[in-house]
Structure 1
Amino acid sequence: MTSPLGPTDPTDPAAWRDLGSTGVKVSPLTLGAMMFGAWGNPDHDESVRIIHRALDAGINVIDTADVYSRGESEEIVGKAIKGRRDDVFLATKFHGAMSDADPNQGGNSRRWIIRAVEASLRRLQTDHLDLYQVHRPRPEIAIDDTLSALSDLVHQGKVRYVGTSTFLPSQVVEAQWTAERRHRERPVTEQPPYSILAREVERDLFPTAQRYGLGILPWSPLAGGWLSGRYRRDGEGHVASSRAQRQPARHDPALPENRRKLEAVHALQDLADDAGVSLIHLALAFVLEHPAVSSAIIGPRTLEQLESQLGVEKVSLSRDVLDRIDEIVPPGTTLNEADRGSAPPALVDPALRRRSP
């Protein structure tokens, strides 16, 4: 039900893919650095070894953010790529709160962007970023202000490309039209949540991104660990209590939407077993199968987790397998609303959909 695909050597650049219409070639997998530091693996030396292993295995994109462990992730990445900077397409993000006391240390304002980029460059020990991304939208801030600041950074040589993360389709379009009308640097990438269990972006976001030539870098292709292979019908493994405590909406097994996810996971595990691949490779290969996707972001915390995800570029899912996945989780379906990454503001703030106070 599966067959080899592409070169057997994952370090061969022939396996790399187009990053939208930028002309840049990227590896099928992007190394996400969220788990390096206090949020995941506090051992800097081990984290550096994981990054080096990823680079040696042919991964040429590293994605981090200033908010990941409040700068610690960027510091670890900076140590790891020292001497190898030219081999890395380096991406980071701004938006998240970097202070509990000062609300101006975060967000998408010009004031913060200009300050945040300098701090990221210092932590990453580099003079430029290949991709600087708006980590989340802020509808109350004019997108033109954000794009204006980012355009200045591109003109100064501190940033090569700009992108967005977890934008709604309408926000993607607004950014593109604003850039065109106001002569700003336009976002060339988008990072949405995308996995077999969270397929809503197939409805509108992906077609919109394709129309504008955006490169798609999906995050959470393993659905926050649900597709890691740990939850089997035989009872081995259970929904991690730590995840359930941190993100109950996504992981609390008592919630009906998460029970539906678990049922789907069991069916997908059976399918992976029949196909002769790990559930991890099934999940990653599915994400990479979509023509809109440039590179899937993985976020290993340990070297073992990284090794389990490498080699997916040699896996090809047959039409029968893909059809069966569509039966388990229909196209455009997200089983749990909490896995969408962000919701339209009017669904979150009642004041935006009610006339009366």
Structure 2
Amino acid sequence: MEYRFFGRTGVRVAPLCIGAMNFGNPTDDAESMRIIDRAIDAGITMIDTADSYNHGESERIIGRALARNGRRDQVFLATKGHFPTGPGPNDRGNSRLHLIRACEDSLRRLQTDHIDLYQIHRPDPNTPVEETLAALTDLVRQGKVRYIGCSTHPAWRVMEAIMVSELKGYARYVSEQPPYNLLDRRIENELLPLCQAHGLAIIPWAPLAQGVLAGRYTDITAPPPDSRVVLRGGIYAERVTARGIEVGRAFAALAREHGLTPAQLAILWVKDQPGVTAPIVGVRTLAQLEEILPVLEMALSADLRAACDALVPPGSAVVDFHNTAGWMKMRIA
């Protein structure tokens, strides 16, 4: 397997990351732990979660799993803070008050003395970036956090944070975690080139386009009963459109023509895009993990890359996966 440097750090990670959003709901403790054990056995080194995933249960499950298997030191453990963790006005956002509390709570749930990558889950227009970075720097200096990063930030905010860190000697973002898949390629226009130029790792979420590129949807009026569209609705339902399903069907046919499952090709495409470090794969079951593990050893051919570009051209989108990002003004009809 080709291990990749995590941005301009000296850390190497596998080219796939396990996303833990499903841990605790719908994936129960036992299956989550089997997924974690199998992923580590296969050489996957990074697990990504957040304090807001299932009210902290995702972090608790990971903490129990790593305490049980004794393999904490084999994992590059990432979590995030920003979203509400309680009813109070300061139980959210990117203020010093909230982030230090949130980080310490995550440490307890994860049963660890340090977080390898602590990420700002979304921008906070009401908090100066200097306050956020100063708090994160203190966490790094205290040994509670090894590296810091951000998620679903516009390119200008990433650049602003880099420059403030350089000017004030604060800890510097080493990664960005954006939505990225064949149905929404807009980060190729500014964010990806920025991160390549300044040495930030890219760890994209939603590489399967919420299952659309895995062939799970065939009709907009009949989503799978166990899909996020049915179970969670809202923002998840907005990401499944008739146009996206149409492209998904063509993509699935292309995958099968090349001897791959649609899920394998979707993840392979993201993994081998320029600038990408490791796509985050939010598997629900051990069987789903087993299906995508062969991608660790695959490479995307030039012919297959061109065929994917013909479906959705570089830099464009047919579905809006930035629908939780208030800064993204362009919406997909």
- TM-score normalised by the chain length of structure 2: 0.93
Q: Using a 3 Å threshold, how does the CA distance of structure 1 residues 305 and 346 change in structure 2: closer, same or farther?
A: closer
TM-aligned CA distance change 1:31 to 1:290, over 3 Å: same
| Aligned-partner Cα distance in 1 for 2:110–2:14 | 21
The secondary structure found in structure 1 opposite 2:173 is coil
Does structure 1 residue 97 correspond to structure 2 residue 80?
no
**Contact 1:195–1:287 under 8 Å retained in 2:** yes
Contact 1:121 1:128 in 2 (8 A): yes
Aligned-pair CA distance for 1:212: 1.0
SS of 2:84's equivalent in the other structure is coil
* 1:138 aligns to 2:124 (yes or no): yes
Q: SS state of the match for residue 178, structure 1?
A: helix
Q: Which residue of 292, 317, 320 corresponds with 1:337?
A: 320
Contact persistence 1:18–1:25 (CA under 8 A): yes
CA contact (8 A) 1:269 1:279 kept: yes
Instruction: Work out the CA distance in 2 between the residues paired with 1:206 and 1:324.
Output: 21
Structure 1 pair 341–26 and aligned structure 2 pair: CA distance change class (3 A): farther
Worse-matched range after superposition: 135-144 or 313-322: 313-322
Asked if 1 retains the 8 angstrom alpha-carbon contact of 2:179 and 2:321, the reply is no
Compared CA separation, residues 126 and 206, structure 1 to 2 (3 A): same
Q: Distance in 1 between matches of 2:41 and 2:324?
A: 31
Q: Name the counterpart of 2:17.
A: 30
1:210 maps to which of 196, 205, 213: 196
Aligned to 2:61: 76
- Say if 2:226 is the partner of 1:239: no
* Identity value in percent: 47
2:4 alignment partner AA: R
1:290-338 per-residue CA deviation (whole Å, 9 max, x = no partner) reads 1211111001111111111111022222211111111101111121235
In structure 2, how many angstroms separate the alpha carbons of the residues matched to 1:34 and 1:156? 28
- The alpha-carbon deviation at position 340 of structure 1 amounts to 5.1
Q: What does 1:1-357 correspond to in 2, within 5 Å?
A: 7=1, 15-37=2-24, 39-41=25-27, 43-82=28-67, 83-99=70-86, 101-231=87-217, 238-240=222-224, 243-245=228-230, 246-248=232-234, 250-251=236-237, 258-339=241-322, 341-344=324-327
- Unmatched segments (≥5 aa) in structure 2: none
Letter of the aligned partner of 2:56 in structure 1? G
Quote the Cα distance in structure 2 between the aligned partners of 1:210 and 1:252: 30
1:299 to 1:112, Cα distance in 2 relative to 1, 3 A:
same
Contact 1:334 1:340 in 2 (8 A): no
Query: Can you give the 5+ residue segments of structure 1 that lack an aligned partner in the other structure?
Result: 1-6, 8-14, 349-357
Distance 1:33 1:218, change over 3 A: same
Given the superposition, is the C-alpha separation of residues 225 and 283 from structure 1 closer, same or farther in structure 2, using an over 3 Å criterion?
same
Cα-to-partner distance string for 1:106-151 (whole Å, 9 max, x where unaligned): 2111001111111111111111111000011111210110000000
TM-superposed CA distance for 1:345, in Å, is 6.8
- Structure 2: distance between partners of 1:291 and 1:107: 32
**1:210-262 C-alpha deviation (Å, 9 max, x unpaired):** 11100010011001111122235xx7x95336533533555369xxx811111
2:51 maps to amino acid: D
CA distance in 2, matches of 1:149, 1:18: 26
SS at match of 1:317: coil
CA shift for structure 1 position 346: 6.7
Aligned-partner SS, 1:227: coil
Contact kept? 1:66, 1:120, Cα under 8 Å: yes
- Secondary structure in 1 aligned to 2:217? coil
Cα distance in 2, alignment partners of residues 301 and 174 from structure 1: 36
Moved more, 337-346 or 293-302: 337-346
| Matched letter for residue 255 of structure 2 | A
Deviations 1:50-105 (A, max 9, x none): 11111111110011111111111111001111211111111110011111x21211
Structure 1 residue 341: deviation in Å?
4.3
Structure-1 separation of matches of 2:234 and 2:142 = 43
**Are the counterparts in 2 of residues 250 and 339 from structure 1 also a CA contact under 8 Å?**
no
Which ranges of 4 or more aligned residues in structure 1 deviate by more than 4 Å? 338-341, 345-348
How many residues get paired? 327
Give the structure with higher Rg (CA).
1
**Separation in structure 1 between the aligned mates of residue 123 and residue 12 of structure 2, nearest angstrom:** 27
1:305–1:337 Cα change, 3 Å:
same
